[in-house]
Chain A
């Protein structure tokens, strides 16, 4: 997606002014919906999985009678997801997500909006959405539900939450996987500032439970570009460390670090079959979502063709 078309979407700065999260989410979703010709509902459609022989106790309504008429055998039509899609959005509420607060639009704001947007969108297609927020522990766990009031609850929850605690991620991530019982879609919205082994382990846990995982990797533009000039005292948001330095002198080295981190993350994601979406806070959120959805559709089609 080119930069020029980004202008069609909402600017984060505009969204920031709209305080109500539901309105924000609606704007984001409808913003890109109007930009899309095809319905995004397809992206999360329920897929036909296959047939299996009838066994005692199966519900008769699932018998494929057309197959019975041809083969005289009883087969059960099986779907991959028997009910509506169950999606759990996991939002990182650690202190590191607060970065960008000073300028007004923190990573957490961005991530929360993304979560709300996704929830709103899924709700629109009658899917169940749940929300898990965590910092160094799991703060809130709203079970997936497709009830309209559930969405309001979620949005309220998102509005109430402020990233406070330091993330001691290694425990939490492992916990996360065990918390989400229902198999379904897991959307992890986080800056992933944790050691890569933990990330690897937790993603593996998700995958082992047959969750489909999408990682929305929220990064602030400053973190990616490091545009500081003057002498600066950097205070760690999560770490109890500070560094007084001339940023220009460190920029090159810092960027190398970040890039290697990003590379590792992407590598871990792909090795686990996890979609990695880089959400740069300076980019319009709807654009990020839309481009990801478009990408997903293409993958789907390619898979179907094969």
Chain B
């Protein structure tokens, strides 16, 4: 029972408190009014009649008040019952849960031992102490990296079981995982959150308390997840939550680590491939003469490099290049280039670092880093020919194919040519780059799968030539079909669909063809300021390639982002008139207001002009020229932005002073113009909210040097992928580019190189899984995975959530998590046998330790303050783990006391009111 009853001083203080209503009553008696009263007889009579009742009522109230005070005292004392076992006179029982931090930073050497061994010793000592304890104890040991499988689960700790426990502890080995306390602690929170079951639990987290695991920057107000979680665990374990810091047993982090190894670009056979190896010094002093050994499967002898000095906290990179020759089966045995392109050979590439002074590198594990090099024959490129020809060099793709894969060189790119009709049966996912060469129209299905492919990371190149029809192209590639449809349904005006431009694949909207069919006049390319890798061949002043490459025809286009639309504000009653809106010098197409729809206010007239450029002159006129020529100047409101030539601006100067009678700003960043004849027009930039980001998405790589600087090569991000539009075709119909030296080759090689970079070159870290797609028409579904440590495992490929289910041709071999650093080798058996024997092919995966884990800097407890983990978490040093004592488990019942107190107070008030009313 509550201890204050057993301490004399507390007891008397309590009694004094309980007596306080009586004392207050007595004190009150001394403070009263005196009245000289005349009608004393009546008063005495009344008193005589009521005295007993009043006394009784007062005594009842007094008792209630005394009880209330007693209960307040109880509340403050937080009373509890000892657990049931103890009530029955049995021993107390405790569940002790030890969570061992087995992150690889625990591998740090301290003296002759690793820190993790020290931690295990502490746990064993702890178990020994528990075995001698009077109370009965159970012990559970978890590893932070794997909370689901405890090393020991609720084992009674007695002299008999001690050996068993010690054996189990000895078997625990430190993982290659980074410290993931948030996961481990969350599991702990789940485990401890049960009220009743968690009553006897005592929680110990044995960790080296590295700064990167526990510290968070002060900007993050929510705190470090691990920090918050251990507070939560502490809340759930009232008996005790101990953070056992064994990190100070080791020297403060001196460690060197290889933090990265990766190739410069996707590896392909037959050319020099370059690797970067990065070494980081996590220590506090410079390290000299670091020896770096570089291994590859093909060459078992190590290449050695020396890094003379690495400053503390700094990283140094070493570059290694070597040719990869693809010694694969004869390409002739494969059906097509596509298969060849996707055929890959895996190499193991790894690097190790060595220092003479062992003390400079306390953790060995991160001194070695692995890379599974997937060497492909090349990047597969699909060329879709929109204008095929029987004569080889007349076909649209002839020069492109030659440019991407020159005849007698190894480019690393593997082009496949298909016609538009073949496109439906082509699996886009096998390609990294698709060229659409002068393609006039795609089917809906083709377009949809193309959009999906680009959205998922594919790279699309549009080569636009004479087969292209601008309205079909704009509808299919420029406008966002979904938005257009939605808009048409909402407003019931199909023409308005055209307002919603720019959501499609193409970065440009085509306006019309320009140029000289007689090829007597031409323009040249101007790459301007865009220092892009792709157009590097045309860079520099006086670049001869620029002047040699002539363009006789081209598409004029508008960049996504600004599409002026002109529409009448007031209904146009006078129908049949022809209106023009466009640059003064241009042959502007005409528009007719349609009597059937012109009554509709929203009837939109597309401004079929070239892109509005700064300084362009516009006219609004009817055919009879009644309006004359009106130069227009547009000034933006602050919230509307225009993207012109990739530049986002809020002011759009089209020409000099406005000549319409009145120009005023209109909603949505529109401009309204009123003209002398009473007509009012509104110039609307495409919906203002969409304009800005679309402007950022597109990037003009090259322009023509014609008078309006038309765009030649424009790039756009689309989902995860990219789209590049050439406003000229890939053949020699409109340009002499294919014939001018190597300009075409360099341009398209660089383009493919640039576009193929999407492939991730990162290696997975320990803890991540493998999910490899296999083609079960070629290999058996059973795969054997050999991890760097431990036994081989057989894994069957599954069809996963593929809609084709069991019929799926491509299946996934999944290994949920790689638990060790090193190479994982997956062996697949081909269905075709050679000479009656199984042929196997290997795929290799590398798992590396997390780079940050090598940083051994400890959490600066003085800097973060003693309350960093809250009051309930008890931070103790390793040696004192086994000397902590814990009070018995108990059931607190203050909440019931609180309820009772509330009830008493309510009763007191009620009775007070009742007595008062009756008097």
Q: Which residues of A contact B (CB under 8 A)?
A: 95-99, 101-102, 107, 191, 193, 220, 223, 228, 230-239, 241, 243-246, 248-254, 256-258, 261
Contacts and interface: CB of A to CB of B under 8 A. Distances in A.
A236 B37 contact: yes
A232 B919 CA distance: 16
A54 B39 CA distance: 55
Contacts of A257: 41-43, 45-46
A109 B31 CA distance: 30
Interface string B473-511: 000000000000000000000000000000000000000
Contact of A237 (B28, B31, B40, B919): B40
Nearest to B49: A253
Contacts of B33: 228, 230-233
27 contacts: A97-B38, A98-B36, A99-B36, A102-B35, A191-B38, A193-B38, A228-B33, A228-B35, A231-B29, A231-B31, A232-B33, A233-B32, A233-B33, A234-B37, A235-B35, A235-B36, A236-B36, A236-B37, A239-B40, A249-B54, A250-B50, A250-B54, A250-B919, A252-B918, A253-B46, A254-B42, A261-B42
A248 B40 contact: no
Contacts of A235: 34-37
A238 B29 contact: no
A223 B54 contact: no
B39 A232 contact: no
B37 A193 contact: no
* Chain A to chain B: the 3 pairs with minimum beta-carbon distance, closest first: A253-B46, A257-B42, A236-B40
A95 B39 CA distance: 11
Interface string B619-648: 000000000000000000000000000000
A251 to B, nearest CB: 6
B40 A251 contact: no
Contacts of B34: 232-233, 235
Interface in B650-682: none
Given A230-B33, A232-B33, A233-B32, A250 B43 contact: yes
Contacts of A238: 38, 40
A32 B299 CA distance: 134
A218 to B, nearest CB: 10
A256 B43 CA distance: 10
Interface in B42-80: 42-47, 49-50, 54, 57
B916 interface: yes
B42 to A, nearest CB: 4
Contacts, number: 102
A237 B46 contact: no
A44 to B, nearest CB: 31
Nearest to A232: B33
Of A230, A244, A257, most buried by chain B (CB within 10 Å of CB) is A257
Contact of A253 (B29, B39, B50): B50
Contacts of B43: 234, 243, 245, 250, 254, 257
Contact of A239 (B41, B54, B915, B918): B41
A250 B46 CA distance: 6
Given A193-B41, A243-B44, A252-B919, A237 B50 contact: no
Q: Which of B37, B44, B916 has the most CB of A within 10 A?
A: B37
A96 B38 contact: yes
Given A233-B35, A234-B35, A258 B54 contact: no
Nearest to B45: A257
Contacts of B50: 249-250, 253
Contacts of B916: 248
B40 A243 contact: yes
A193 B34 CA distance: 21
A50 to B, nearest CB: 46
Contacts of B41: 193, 239, 257
A19 B600 CA distance: 98
B38 A99 contact: yes
A251 B46 CA distance: 8
Contacts of A95: 38
Contacts of B46: 250, 252-254, 256-257
Nearest to B33: A232
Nearest to A256: B46
A239 B37 CA distance: 9
Given A231-B29, A243-B47, A99 B37 contact: yes
A244 B919 CA distance: 17
A42 to B, nearest CB: 36
A96 B36 CA distance: 9
Nearest to A240: B40
Given A249-B54, A250-B46, A256-B46, A232 B36 contact: no
B242 to A, nearest CB: 58
A250 B37 CA distance: 14
Nearest to B54: A249
A236 B45 CA distance: 13
Given A99-B37, A241-B44, A249-B57, 11 more contacts: A191-B38, A193-B38, A193-B39, A193-B41, A220-B38, A223-B38, A228-B33, A233-B32, A233-B35, A244-B32, A246-B54
Contacts of B38: 95-99, 107, 191, 193, 220, 223, 237-238
A232 B43 CA distance: 12
A237 B34 CA distance: 12
Nearest to A230: B33
Contacts of B35: 102, 228, 232-235
B61 to A, nearest CB: 12
Contacts of B44: 241, 243
A229 B836 CA distance: 115
Contact of A258 (B31, B36, B39, B915): B39
A246 B324 CA distance: 108
Contacts of A245: 43, 47
Nearest to B34: A233
Contacts of A246: 54
A98 B39 CA distance: 11
A96 B41 CA distance: 11
A225 B308 CA distance: 107
Contacts of B39: 96, 99, 193, 223, 258
Nearest to B48: A253
A235 B641 CA distance: 93
A169 to B, nearest CB: 12
Contacts of A253: 45-47, 49-50
A237 B37 contact: yes
A97 B29 CA distance: 29
Contacts of B915: 249
Contacts of A251: 919
Nearest to A231: B32
Residue from the set B38, B43, B45, B50 with the largest chain A CB neighbour count within 10 Å: B38
Nearest to A101: B36
B915 to A, nearest CB: 8
Contacts of B49: 253
B28 to A, nearest CB: 6
Q: Which of B29, B47, B57 has the most CB of A within 10 A?
A: B47
| B34, B42, B919: residue with the most chain A Cβ atoms closer than 10 Å | B42
Nearest to A228: B35
Nearest to A94: B38
Interface in B12-31: 28-29, 31
B914 to A, nearest CB: 13
A232 B32 contact: yes
Which of A97, A232, A243, A249 has most chain B Cβ within 10 Å?
A249
Given A249-B919, A258-B42, A261-B42, A237 B47 contact: no
A102 B28 contact: no
B407 to A, nearest CB: 116
Contacts of B40: 234, 236-239, 241, 243
B45 A230 contact: no
A228 B54 CA distance: 16
Contacts of A102: 35-36
Nearest to A96: B38
B165 to A, nearest CB: 72
